[in-house]
Amino acid sequence: MRSFTYRSQCSGEVKVLVNQPLDEEIRRLLERYTGCVLITPSSISGLVKQGYCPRIMIKDGEEGKSIETVLEVIKDSMNHSLDRGGVMIGVGGGSTLDVVGFAAAIYMRGIDHVNVPTTTLAMVDAALGGKTGVNAANLKNVIGVFKQPVEIVVDLGFVKTLPQASYLDGFAEVLKYGVTMDKGLFRRLNDNVDRVMARDGTLLEDLIYSSLVNKAKVVEADEFDKLGVRIVLNYGHTVGHALESASGFSISHGRAVGLGMVCESSIGVKLGYTKPDVPGLIAESLTKLNLMQDIKVNLDSLLRAITGDKKRTGDYLNIPMVTDVGDWVKVKVKVSDYLRLVREVCGYLG
């Protein structure tokens, strides 16, 4: 087991445990709180032992990522007499953790919560950072608040339960950390694809730990996304989130972000920021990880979603551009220019 802490301006220290059994950690947590509720999607209810906390079942995936689900969690927490000295424990993928974090932020003006990610995507990304949000108006995460968990528990036992496609989805985000900030991580991922496919526990602990350390450094430097540092975490997401929206969320997040990185790096080459070999390196990595997907979405829907991106300020988009593997810069691009480049460079989108 490997662990570290990062600091939140509002919440103090956040503890991160990688390769820690959940049962052990819940028993320890219950010594600190007056009560708890365990919130999990019904699809994985059989993977979590009964008896520790009252359980609240919610819908899985993007379907359950709504304000209605948040209100259900709050109502059920009240029915279970959860007070301000209690804790919400979210066990699930990124959508579940978003709902739990949002609910904890507004329940009784805020109570503690713990994130227990069960997908690789949530383990390397969604569980850490403090951004919570739900979807509305066909836009991803358009309603939300910042709320840091007190603890993140990564139990690698959940990895064994994942279908292969879902398991591999999270490695698009691992690749993102490598491409933008950590050349060593990029190399370790690409040099060990066979071990990734075999779900090698030692390698997974290393890749997940390194990804979370990279993200935590960014969060500490720019927790509330005001200084332009945290924007690096959105690499691949301007186009990736638009792909998800334009497809009615039928494209998985990891694959959408992977395709978004190829598109955005190609735009970076066109604008003169990105070395010409970077898009090919990203595409090669995604191909080895079975994350390249031949997709066709309505281009007008895609462009509308980009226009509604949260990184837009007036007529401009503030976006990260990779210069070379492991390095990036913040760039301000006119929305109209960016949309034109998406049309020109990312033709594979349909």
Domain containing 294 — which CATH number?
A: 1.20.1090.10
Provide DSSP, 90-111: EEESHHHHHHHHHHHHHGGG--
pLDDT at residue 138 in the model: 74
Residues 17 and 115 in one domain: yes
φ, ψ for residue 3 (rounded to 5)?
-145, 160
Q: Domain ends where: 128, 144, 162?
A: 162
179 found inside a domain = no
Residues 39 and 147 in one domain: yes
Task: Tell me the pLDDT of the chain (350 aa) as tens digits.
Answer: 999 999 998 889 999 999 999 989 998 998 999 999 999 998 887 788 777 899 999 998 878 899 999 999 999 999 999 999 999 999 999 999 999 999 999 999 999 999 999 999 999 999 999 999 888 877 767 788 999 999 999 999 999 999 999 999 999 999 999 999 999 999 999 999 999 999 999 999 999 999 999 999 999 999 998 899 999 999 999 999 899 888 888 889 999 999 999 999 999 999 999 999 999 999 999 999 999 988 888 888 888 888 877 778 888 999 999 999 999 999 999 999 999 999 998 865 54
Q: What is the pTM of this model?
A: 0.93
pLDDT at residue 297 in the model: 85
Residues 116 and 239 in one domain: no
198 found inside a domain = no
SS3 121: helix
Q: What is the CATH number of the domain that holds 143?
A: 3.40.50.1970
SS3 317: strand
- Could you give the angle at which helices 183-191 and 201-221 cross, rounded to 10 degrees? 160
Domain boundaries, position 115: 2-162
In terms of Cβ atoms closer than 10 Å to its own Cβ (0-12, 13-18, 19+), residue 106 is middle
181 found inside a domain = no
pLDDT at residue 246 in the model: 87
Residues 223 and 317 in one domain: yes
Residues 144 and 228 in one domain: no
303 found inside a domain = yes
CA distance 100 to 152: 13
CA distance 58 to 134: 14
Structure tokens, 255: 């694959």
pLDDT at residue 350 in the model: 45
Residues 106 and 233 in one domain: no
Q: Domain ends where: 162, 185, 207?
A: 162
247 sits in the region (left: phi over 0; alpha: psi -120 to 50; else beta) called alpha
174 found inside a domain = no
Residues 157 and 224 in one domain: no
Structure tokens, 26: 């819940």
Structure tokens, 346: 């990312």
CA distance 169 to 178: 15
Strand locations in 9-51, DSSP E? 12-18, 36-41
SS3 228: coil
pLDDT at residue 347 in the model: 67
Residues 231 and 129 in one domain: no
Q: Which of 124, 119, 129, 71 is nearest to 95 (CA)?
A: 119
- Residue 16: how many other CB atoms lie within 10 Å: 25
Residues 155 and 231 in one domain: no
222 found inside a domain = yes
Give the count of domains, the chain: 2
For residues 98 and 122, is the Cβ–Cβ distance under 8 A?
A: no
For residues 228 and 222, is the Cβ–Cβ distance under 8 A?
A: yes
304 found inside a domain = yes
Residues 158 and 222 in one domain: no
Residues 9 and 85 in one domain: yes
205 found inside a domain = no
Residues 43 and 154 in one domain: yes
**CB-based contacts of 33: which residues, under 8 Å, 6+ apart?**
85, 86, 87, 112
Q: Domain ends where: 122, 145, 162?
A: 162
